[in-house]
Amino acid sequence: MNTSLFDQLKIVADTFQQVKGGGLLLKGQTVSVALPGVPRRFLYHGWQSWSLTAWADVSWRMPVMRPARFHPMQTDPVHVREKKPHGSWFGAVEIENGGVVFLGSLGLDAHVVLERDSIRGTFDAEKGDWFLGMGKEEAIFKQYALLLKERLGGGRIPTPPRVWCSWYSLCTEISERSLVKILGDLDTRKWPVEVFQIDDGWQKSIGDWEPNEKFSLGMDGMAAWVKAADRVAGLWLAPLIAVPSSSLYRHHRDWLLHDRKGKLVPAGFNWGEPLYALDTTHPQALEWLAALMKKVRGWGYDYVKLDFLYAGALPGKRHLDLPREAAYRTGLKTIREALGGAYLLTCGAPIIPSVGLCDGMRIGPDVASYWDNPRDRDLLRNYTVPGTQNALRTSLNRLWLQPLLHTDPDAVYFRSVQNSLTQEQKSLLQDLALIAGFKATSDMPAWLTKEEEAALKAYLASQPSIQRTGAYSYRIDGREVDFSSHIALPPLPGFLTNIWGGIIGSLAQNTSLLKAFDRKGRQALKKTLKANPV
C-alpha cells in the first residue's frame, strides 16, 4: 500500500497514525474519510455467517428482506432499514480509476456507511480503533486480518479436519439406527473423513440438549459408535437460543434476552416456533452454558458445531450493561473455555466478535441441492437463505478471513440423487471448498453411484496447489476456475413482482402459516427419505 496516497484523503478522527506494513490507524467513536474519487462499487459486509456479503454497484440498494420476522436470522436487525450502502464492521469502496478505500473497525459493535462522497464508521458504545487502507483489495484485507489477529487472536489448529455431516441429506430426520448404518458404510468403504458430525435432530428440543427418543443409546452411546469407527465424534447444538416448548424457556425465562420494556427479544422463527435468545451476561445462564459444553465433552464429542450464535449479540437489556457484541464474546469465551481442546466450528455467528475464539467458522449461507429459489430471491428479496448460489457469493467474499480461522463454505455434493444442481454447479462448490480449505459433505454412501463415490473419495484425499489469479478466479492444479459470472447479484424485482412479494411477505409473518409450512416440509422430507433409503 502506498502511504503517500493518504495525503489526498480528508480524514475526520480523534487521532491517526501510520501502521507498519501500510495503511492508517484511526481512533474515534465516529470517523470519516472523504473519498478521493467518485465511488463505483461498495462491498456490503453482512453481520453473521449467513448474511449477504458482496460487491455491488453504488446505485444498488440492499432491499429490506421479507418477512421481518426472519430479520434477526438474516442480518443485523439494528441496521436492516439503513438506506445507504452499509456494512457490519467494515466497508470498502472502489473508486473511479480502480483502487479501493477500506475502513474497518478493529473492535466490536461497529458499522460503516457510504455517504455521498465519504465513508463513515461508527462504534455503538464507545470510541475505538479503525484501520484505513487504500490500494489493492487483497493487500488491504491481508493487513486488516493481521491487525485483527493482534487484537482478537487467531486459530489454534493448523489443519481443518474433513467432515461428514448429517444435515444436507437427512436434515432433522436422523436416528441412531440410520447414523450407525452410515458410519458402517464410511468405515468399510474407507472414506477419508476424520469427523462424523451429527447435526440438528438428536435433541429433545431447542433449549433441551438431551437425546430424544430416536437416540436410545444416549449421546454417549452414539459417540462410542463413532469412535469405534475410528472417527472424531461431532455434534451440532444451538446453545444461545430457546423455543417456547423447551423447559429452558419455561423454567428460566429470566435467562433470556428482554428489551427495555421487559418483553422477550425475538430471535427469528424456525422449527415451527419463535426463537428467543440467551442473555450471555446472566451468571446462571453462563453457568448453564459451561455445564452444557462440559456435558457434551463428557459424552465423547471432540468437535462441536455451534449454530444460531447471532442470538447472543442481538440488541436488548442484559443482566450486565455490556455492549451487545461484547456480551456475545463473554458467552463465547465461556463456551471456549468449557470446551477445552475440542474443535469449535461457529455458525450463524457474528463475524468479527467470533474471531480468536473459534477454530472454524461458516462464512456463508447454507448450500442446498438446488442453485437458487426464485420465491426467496425475487418475492422475499432474500439472498441469505439456503441455496448454492447464495452460499458461493457470500463465501467467496469472506476468504480473507483465512489467516484468522478455518473458513467453512459448507458441504459439497457429488450425488445426483435428490439433487437438481448441474455438474458445473456441483464443481463450483467443490472448487470453492478446495480454495477455502475446508472439506465437508453430507453425501450418503448408499446414494452415490460407483463413479460418484470414487470421485468424492479422490476429492477428499486431494491436496491441490491453488493460486489466486483474479478477484474471483483461481488456478487449481493448473486448471482455471472463474466464479465471476455465477455470483452476480440478481437485479432488483420489478413493480408487479414487488407488489406480489409484499403480499407473500405479509402472509409469511403469520406464525400459523409458518407452522403449517414447517409441518409440510417435514412430511415431504420423510417421503423423500422413504424413497431413498439410507
For ligand 9PG, give the closer residue by CB, 130 or 236.
236
The DSSP output letter for 317 is: B
**In terms of C-beta density within 10 A (0-12 exposed, 13-18 middle, 19 or more buried), how is residue 101 classed?**
buried
For ligand 9PG, give the closer residue by CB, 92 or 440.
440
Min separation Cβ 16 and ligand 9PG, Å = 39
| Binding of ligand 9PG by 137 (CB under 6 A) | no
Contact pick of 167, 310, 438, 472 for ligand 9PG (by CB under 6 A): 167
For ligand 9PG, give the closer residue by CB, 104 or 386.
386
Min separation Cβ 63 and ligand 9PG, Å = 17
Per DSSP (E only), the strands in 307-378 are 343-346, 360-362
Question: Nearest to residue 274, comparing CAs of 502, 72, 525?
Answer: 72
| Binding of ligand 9PG by 408 (CB under 6 A) | no
Contact pick of 88, 270, 346, 407 for ligand 9PG (by CB under 6 A): 270
- Interface with ligand 9PG: number of residues (CB under 6 A): 13
Contact pick of 43, 52, 73, 429 for ligand 9PG (by CB under 6 A): 73
Three cell numbers written together for 304? 462441536
The DSSP output letter for 445 is: G
Min separation Cβ 109 and ligand 9PG, Å = 24
Burial letters for 276-287: b for 16+ Cβ neighbours within 10 Å, e otherwise?
bbbbbbbeebbe
Q: Which residues contact 470 (CB under 8 A, 6 or more apart)?
A: 482, 484
- What own/partner pairs with CB < 8 Å and gap ≥ 24 does 246-251 have? 246/204, 246/205, 246/206, 246/207, 246/208, 247/205, 247/207, 247/208, 248/207, 248/208, 249/207, 249/276
Q: Which residues contact 150 (CB under 8 A, 6 or more apart)?
A: none
Instruction: Compute the distance between CA of residue 77 and CA of residue 422 in angstroms, rounded to an integer.
Output: 35
| Binding of ligand 9PG by 361 (CB under 6 A) | no
Phi, psi (rounded to 5 degrees) for 128: -155, -170
| Binding of ligand 9PG by 385 (CB under 6 A) | yes
Helix (H, G, I), strand (E, B) or coil at 130: strand
Min separation Cβ 427 and ligand 9PG, Å = 21
Min separation Cβ 66 and ligand 9PG, Å = 13
Min separation Cβ 410 and ligand 9PG, Å = 7
For ligand 9PG, give the closer residue by CB, 28 or 409.
409
Question: Nearest to residue 301, comparing CAs of 236, 207, 211?
Answer: 236
| Binding of ligand 9PG by 307 (CB under 6 A) | yes
For ligand 9PG, give the closer residue by CB, 244 or 403.
244
| Binding of ligand 9PG by 51 (CB under 6 A) | no
Contact pick of 102, 209, 236, 288 for ligand 9PG (by CB under 6 A): 236
Cβ-based neighbour number of residue 264 at 10 Å: 18
For ligand 9PG, give the closer residue by CB, 454 or 513.
513
**In terms of C-beta density within 10 A (0-12 exposed, 13-18 middle, 19 or more buried), how is residue 125 classed?**
middle
Q: Which neighbouring-strand residues pair with 362?
A: 408
For ligand 9PG, give the closer residue by CB, 307 or 431.
307
Min separation Cβ 238 and ligand 9PG, Å = 7
Q: Binding string to ligand 9PG for residues 11 to 50, with x set by CB under 6 A, is what? A: ---------------------------------------x
| Binding of ligand 9PG by 443 (CB under 6 A) | no
Contact pick of 366, 372, 408, 453 for ligand 9PG (by CB under 6 A): 366
Question: Nearest to residue 433, comparing CAs of 396, 473, 488, 475?
Answer: 396
For ligand 9PG, give the closer residue by CB, 11 or 68.
68
Report the residue closest to ligand 9PG, judged by CB.
Answer: 200
| Binding of ligand 9PG by 347 (CB under 6 A) | yes
Min separation Cβ 313 and ligand 9PG, Å = 17
For ligand 9PG, give the closer residue by CB, 236 or 255.
236
Q: Which neighbouring-strand residues pair with 120?
A: 32, 113
Helix (H, G, I), strand (E, B) or coil at 171: coil
| Binding of ligand 9PG by 202 (CB under 6 A) | no
Min separation Cβ 134 and ligand 9PG, Å = 35
| Binding of ligand 9PG by 134 (CB under 6 A) | no
| Binding of ligand 9PG by 241 (CB under 6 A) | no
| Binding of ligand 9PG by 301 (CB under 6 A) | no
Question: Nearest to residue 29, comparing CAs of 131, 107, 126?
Answer: 126
| Binding of ligand 9PG by 199 (CB under 6 A) | yes
Q: Which residues contact 320 (CB under 8 A, 6 or more apart)?
A: 281, 327
Question: Nearest to residue 252, comparing CAs of 208, 214, 218?
Answer: 208
Q: Which neighbouring-strand residues pair with 257?
A: none
| Alpha-carbon radius of gyration of the chain | 23
For ligand 9PG, give the closer residue by CB, 207 or 386.
386
The residues binding ligand 9PG (CB under 6 A) are 50, 73, 167, 199-200, 236, 270, 307, 347-348, 366, 385-386
